[in-house]
A and B are shown apart, each in its own frame.
Chain A
């Protein structure tokens, strides 16, 4: 291998410099040798071999005689002038090779820049590449190399953004307070501040207590962790990170541990007050935040109130998701207050413990609100009192389009009120009343309400004890509404022939 590498270099030496020749020889060899291999693995073997060749080539050139050279030429049957690569190619290869130490990119012309980017290794340190390279292809390679499954659509269609978001997520997921150095994340901050828009973290590891490993030697997997003392279960404080990210728009957090297996203990899932306060401060300080999700984190009334307090009068917040928590009526009241003090569009309190009083306060806020588009109270227990209050609120509200009241123990009185709402309201497009006990009479009343409604597109009444007939008729009314909505969507554009107008609709419908 080395012999063959040297041969062209020596032969070409007479009319070109040594260093470039070495590279050229290597590159040609690499190209030829690694052609069959995967592109990702290609650069790796070349790197280590880059440095030694010049030393070796110089050795023989100075020491060995001319004879040896001649002999080698004679042996190389495949050598020809046509194989000699262009100088630009050689330069590009050199740039690629030394990119880590001397990143030259901006000065290059467009076509060459592309080539360089195509040859850059995804393993280059982020400090070099983060703020220098904008090319999506490079970052695509980086992403696909690290994560086999990744959806760029979830990250705004930008591979670079995706790379940094996933990278940051990864760091946060595996951050162990008091053992991991916080600088690891803070160092990344200046590199990723312009690219991270979303943070989605579905696990926060608690700090590791020193005692368990000591005892872990003898009873590693036994329930010894259950006896751990309470303190110091705070998780990573997001404050610094959130303050540093200038484009952060979405925060999706779950304070819990995944895949704990048999090491389960309740401590792992504690969302402490300190966490709560720091999170609240971080969220308050982040003025660009639009979506805030905190699910499955055992947020109770007090914590919810702390968080919502910090969100009052937030300039940008549009969506708040506190589903799968332990929020009761007081938390719901706080959320209702938030409705009056922000421009919230989506509120999700699914699977909490909101009861009638909470629902009534929400309904009161909803009656005067003109921003909220979607309200989700699935799997709560607001019962008829709350449901009636909400229905009353909907009689005045002109904004809400989606309402999910599934699994709320609602019954006929709510249905009667809702049927009135249906005949009046023209903004609601989707209602979910599944898993309630509406009963056949309630179903009939809803059917009456539906007969006057022309805007509702979805009305889920599954498993709510409604007579089949009324459910079927409601379904028909919904179909009619959907068709009408489709026509409405088409008609304002132009009165084109249905053949052309409805063509593209097919897959969507």
Chain B
């Protein structure tokens, strides 16, 4: 409906433009669609021109070709034409839908309006009818108050009329609505028809469009094909011409090449011939040479073969030998293996045994160590006992010694007495008491055991400690044996100094071991080491040393110039220091006659030691064996002593004594004889007297008288 109308306006407008003749549909045709197409095409052509202008810049390279190629132009044209056609066609077809749409919109708008009006109307109606109804109901109230039937009747009639009016109104409304509904129904039917018409139109247009499009497509296709063919023919002719020209040129050139080639071939043939001859000669010479070489090589080959065979035989022999050896070695190997196995077994056994033994020995070791410990204990005990016994023995020995000595001395004194008596009384000689050293001796010989240096040290140090403990206590008596005026303090100080200064003599190991020990013990051990290094062993050495120090000090401190030659320049400074020290220590020096060891400068210590060691060297040599005897008590002198004791009386005196003895014996004998004789005499005298008495008695006695013969008469007889 609409599209033709609306487009009709466009058409008129279009007609104002110049009517340009178009190939396809003309503007002046009767068919409106064709006209539309024509116009579209025109517009497209214009647009295309504009577009080309726009694209001209970057397509200018192509433009020359474009101008030439008809086919391209044709294609572009057709494309645009067809695009227009399609666009128009779709527009044409969709126009119907759009028209339907707008109709629908109109309808809807109208419908809405009508609906609104209807609703308004209905609302009004409701209002009025409500009013009327209320009026009627009001009247009912009134009617109830009415008493007069006539009035009531009138009122009822009026009410009836009112009600009828109300109902009539309603009915009217209903009929109106029903009419509307009918009209709508009619409208609906009309719309349906219209729509079916539209659809028919739509189908028609679509079909037409399809036909149209197909037709135009075909036409365009033909146009394009024609254009292509024309172009192709042109191209063909052009190319043919070109081809022929090129062919002719080619032929000419070919001929030229051929001639050139023939010439060249001839040249080459000549060259080849020359080359061939030359090659032949060369070949012959080379051949001869090579044959000679071959002969030489064959000879060499023969030689090589001979050597080869020789070698082969040798190698075979070697191979055989090696094989045999291999076999042997395998046998040996197996044997060795077996042996190894056996040895392994043995080894294992031994190992087990070894382990057992280790265990056993460990046990034994343990038992032995325990035994050893026990023995050591026993030994210590034994030592203790031994020491005890030694002491006791010593004591006993001493006692016995003293006893014997006493006895001997007794005897000797008696002997001396005797001798003196003999000399004085018997011989009338003056007696002088013999003066022997052993006579003064009391106690065992060689009791003065030399103490070792260390012992002394110990003592000294202990002393020092004790001193430290009890300062008040005066110098102990035990130090009586210290030589001369050297005090314990000075010795100690000297030793301390020595210890501090000559640390280099101590072994390093010892130093490390000493660290944890006491100060005093440390000193002791250090000094021990130093002394062993210096060769100081005995007490005497020690005292010598101390004395040496003191003397050195005494000698060198005041006149330090004496040894300036020996003293190092460093020591030159010492005197002053020493002097200062001496100044400081003046007071102690006064107290103690020996110069204080503090005066000895530490730097001098080494010198002193050096001097001391050089001095000590000689005596030390012969003293070495003596040292061995010291251990056992020396009893060589004992026998001499005792012997000497026996020979207190010399042999001459003894001889004298013997002679004296014999003389005295003789004398004694004489004396005894005399005595005997005297005794005999006396006895005889007494016998005489007695006999006299008896006689007298007898004589005197009555018996006698009685007796025939009286005794007195016998007597007289023997005696006569």
Contact = CB atoms under 8 A, between A and B. Distances in A.
Interface of A: 378-379, 381, 406-407, 409, 434-435, 460, 462-463, 468-469, 471-472, 475-476, 479-480, 482-483, 487, 497-499, 502-503, 505-507, 509
Given A463-B102, A479-B43, A498 B95 contact: no
A438 B43 CA distance: 25
Interface stretch (B6-14, B123-131, B510-518, B688-696): B6-14
A502 B47 contact: no
B82 A507 contact: yes
Given A434-B101, A506-B220, A509-B82, 20 more contacts: A378-B101, A406-B98, A406-B101, A434-B98, A435-B105, A463-B2, A463-B98, A468-B10, A468-B13, A471-B10, A475-B43, A476-B47, A480-B47, A480-B50, A497-B65, A499-B65, A499-B66, A499-B71, A506-B75, A507-B82
A498 B71 CA distance: 11
B217 interface: yes
B379 to A, nearest CB: 107
B177 interface: no
Contacts of A381: 108
Contact of B98 (A462, A499, A507): A462
B105 A509 contact: no
Interface of B: 2-3, 6, 9-10, 13, 43-44, 47, 50-51, 55, 59, 62, 65-66, 69, 71-72, 75-76, 78-80, 82-83, 86, 91, 94-95, 98-99, 101-102, 104-105, 108-109, 217, 220
A498 B69 CA distance: 11
A498 B79 contact: no
Nearest to B48: A483
Contacts of A507: 82, 217
A407 B104 CA distance: 9
Given A406-B98, A506-B82, A499 B6 contact: no
A475 B42 CA distance: 13
Which 7 residue pairs across A and B have the least CB separation, nearest first?
A: A509-B83, A499-B72, A435-B102, A506-B79, A407-B101, A435-B101, A434-B98
Contact of A463 (B6, B9, B51, B76): B6
B55 A487 contact: yes
B99 A463 contact: yes
Contacts of A497: 62, 65
Count chain B CB atoms within 10 A of each CB in A379, A434, A479 and give the residue with the most.
A479
A499 B63 CA distance: 11
Contact of A476 (B3, B6, B43, B66): B43
Nearest to B9: A468
Which applies to chain B's interface (DSSP): helix, strand, loop or mixed? helix
Nearest to B112: A381
Given A379-B101, A434-B101, A497-B62, A479 B44 contact: yes
Contacts of B104: 379, 407
A469 B105 CA distance: 25
Contact of A505 (B2, B79, B86, B108): B79
Contacts of A462: 2-3, 6, 91, 95, 98
Contacts of A476: 43, 47
Nearest to B59: A498
A144 B69 CA distance: 48
B55 to A, nearest CB: 7
Contacts of A469: 13
A502 B83 CA distance: 13
A469 B47 CA distance: 17
Given A476-B43, A480-B51, A498 B101 contact: no
A499 B10 contact: no
Contacts of A498: 59, 62, 66, 72, 76
B105 A409 contact: yes
Contacts of B71: 499
A449 to B, nearest CB: 20
B106 to A, nearest CB: 9
Contacts of B62: 497-498
8 contacts: A381-B108, A409-B105, A435-B98, A462-B2, A468-B13, A497-B65, A498-B66, A502-B75
A476 B43 CA distance: 8
Contacts of A434: 98, 101-102
Contacts of A460: 94, 98
A502 B224 CA distance: 13
A167 to B, nearest CB: 29
A379 B104 CA distance: 8
B50 to A, nearest CB: 8
Contacts of A487: 55
Contact of A407 (B10, B13, B72, B102): B102
A479 to B, nearest CB: 5
A501 B37 CA distance: 26
